[in-house]
A and B are shown apart, each in its own frame.
Chain A
Amino acid sequence: NAGVTQTPKFQVLKTGQSMTLQCAQDMNHNSMYWYRQDPGMGLRLIYYSASEGTTDKGEVPNGYNVSRLNKREFSLRLESAAPSQTSVYFCASSRDRDYATQYFGPGTRLLVL
């Protein structure tokens, strides 16, 4: 099993450009999450999806949209990138009964110029 995979690994955007970060998990988990990690700030939840077809806002949702395409895939979209969105983005997933134990992907490093 690959666990949680993310693409791309690294991306450079110009202000105003759009892009979609992809995430997939092969562990049959119902819950999936998107976090951003900034220096000295730990991980902050952007959006999460408790099950296929549902999404909810996290701590810092502004400027982002998400799609739970199916049970395996959860994408994060930046419609109009801003320099403040320069960050490392992590996708994670968890089982129903062990919701607190989240498994993370390797991250996508995004630079917005």
Chain B
Amino acid sequence: GQQLNQSPQSMFIQEGEDVSMNCTSSSIFNTWLWYKQDPGEGPVLLIALYKAGELTSNGRLTAQFGITRKDSFLNISASIPSDVGIYFCAGRAQETSGSRLTFGEGTQLTVNP
């Protein structure tokens, strides 16, 4: 099946710094999603991308659908303490039927005040 490689696995940053994380796949994806999971909660959708090259923002968050359709990036600008959590990429592979998604392993973000 499809696999997603998400990096980095964890990040420790100071409040105010910018953050970048990415996700790569071995096959072509036609949808990329970025979720955030707070401790003890389910993942919450942050940004959805549907076209190669698409760049979408949600407040301080910006995500891009890679031109090759095999990668995606998430940037967080001017981080704040409430950005702490696990960020997951997810995608729907081109050859997948129905609505099945593949998830990355997550990036654990820690923000020091």
Contacts and interface: CB of A to CB of B under 8 A. Distances in A.
Nearest to B9: A40
Interface in B85-105: 88, 90, 92, 98-101, 103-105
B41 A42 contact: no
Interface residues of A, number: 27
Nearest to B99: A99
B1 A94 contact: no
Contact of B100 (A4, A48, A90, A107): A48
B33 A106 contact: no
Contacts of B88: 42-43
Interface residues of B, number: 25
A42 B100 contact: no
B59 to A, nearest CB: 18
Contacts of B106: 40, 42
A58 B1 CA distance: 11
B99 A90 contact: no
Contacts of B33: 100-101
B54 to A, nearest CB: 13
B99 A100 contact: yes
B48 interface: yes
A42 B98 contact: no
Interface of B: 1, 4, 6, 9, 31, 33, 40-45, 48, 50, 88, 90, 92, 98-101, 103-106
User: Closest 8 A-B residue pairs measured CB to CB?
Assistant: A104-B42, A99-B99, A42-B103, A43-B103, A100-B31, A42-B105, A104-B43, A31-B99
17 contacts: A31-B99, A33-B99, A40-B9, A42-B6, A43-B90, A44-B103, A48-B100, A59-B1, A94-B99, A100-B31, A100-B33, A100-B48, A100-B92, A104-B42, A106-B40, A106-B41, A107-B42
